[in-house]
């Protein structure tokens, strides 16, 4: 597992581990790293089958197997307790860890995540897989921003998206890996176990998320005993990229509540 450490270096520094969504790249969190690094040791990583980790996604094991990869990093670094932030699929990893290893999770942040996949999300993934199988990697990658960003943001960032498309094609994780990762997130279902998760949780969601209906975050807020929902009108699925300053402020306020943020 390839991981990077940013920010504070002291062995006892407060730590937050970040897990991205379907793309699986630690670089997804670039807009959050500077803000978080001033207060925390920040760990980002590339999921198995993705980026610099590479390899093959297991055919079985689902989200729990992905969480096991996180536990390998945790063991290597000797972490005994840390904050965890996950986006979409990464949020599912966080929920799995919070259920299986509650002793490790301090505060939990879930961005546009879910306890059980919504039928609408399933339709979106069907379309993406059909594009991949019928039209190839280029079409699959080119369609991705449609599910991530608001139209106005894509219009204002056309040059960046063109660069992202080229990078996405040249670093594509492979059809089998994508298919298995989508199957894992679609099979994930902890809806009837949310009451078991005691960690303080911040839920971040947007009403204009095309991929994951915000009602999935509402459900998380209803089911988790210690959850706060931050619901915005816009920002779409990748709201932490679209509105990084606002999201970073929300994250830091949540993580540092009751502590000295200068520590």
Domain count, the chain: 1
pTM for the whole structure: 0.96
CB-CB contact of 4 with 45 (8 Å): yes
pLDDT at 159: 97
261 within domain boundaries: no
262 within domain boundaries: no
pLDDT along the chain (263 residues), means of 10: 94 94 96 97 96 92 97 96 98 98 98 98 97 97 97 97 95 95 97 98 98 98 98 98 98 84 39
pLDDT at 11: 80
263 within domain boundaries: no
**Please, which residues have CB within 8 angstroms of residue 74's CB and are 6 or more apart in sequence?**
17, 82, 104
CATH (domain of 212): 3.40.50.1820
127 within domain boundaries: yes
Structural domain including 160 reads 3-256
171 within domain boundaries: yes
CB-CB contact of 41 with 9 (8 Å): yes
């Amino acid at each position: 597992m390839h991981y990077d450490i940013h920010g504070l270096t002291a062995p006892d520094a407060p730590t937050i581990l970040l897990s991205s969504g379907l793309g699986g790249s630690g670089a997804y969190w670039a807009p959050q790293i500077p803000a978080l690094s001033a207060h925390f040791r920040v760990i980002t990583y590339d999921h198995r089958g993705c980026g610099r980790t590479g390899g093959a996604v297991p055919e079985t094991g689902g989200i729990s197997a992905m969480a096991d990869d996180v536990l390998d990093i945790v063991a290597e670094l000797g972490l005994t307790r840390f904050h965890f932030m996950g986006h979409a699929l990464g949020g599912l990893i966080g929920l799995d860890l919070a259920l299986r290893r509650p002793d490790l999770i301090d505060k939990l942040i879930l961005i546009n995540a879910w306890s059980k996949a919504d039928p609408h999300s399933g339709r979106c993934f069907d379309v993406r897989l059909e594009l991949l199988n019928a039209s190839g990697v280029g079409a699959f990658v080119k369609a991705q921003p449609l599910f991530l960003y608001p139209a106005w943001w894509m219009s204002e960032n056309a040059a960046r998206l063109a660069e992202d498309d080229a990078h996405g094609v040249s670093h594509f994780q492979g059809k089998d890996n994508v298919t298995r990762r989508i199957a894992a997130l679609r099979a994930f279902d902890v809806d009837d176990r949310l009451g078991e998760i005691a960690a303080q949780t911040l839920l971040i969601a947007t009403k204009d998320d095309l991929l994951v209906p915000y009602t999935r975050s509402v459900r998380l807020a209803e089911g988790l005993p210690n959850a706060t929902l931050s619901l915005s009108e816009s920002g779409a699925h990748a709201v932490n990229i679209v509105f990084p300053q606002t999201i970073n402020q929300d994250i830091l306020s949540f993580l540092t509540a009751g502590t000295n943020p200068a520590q």
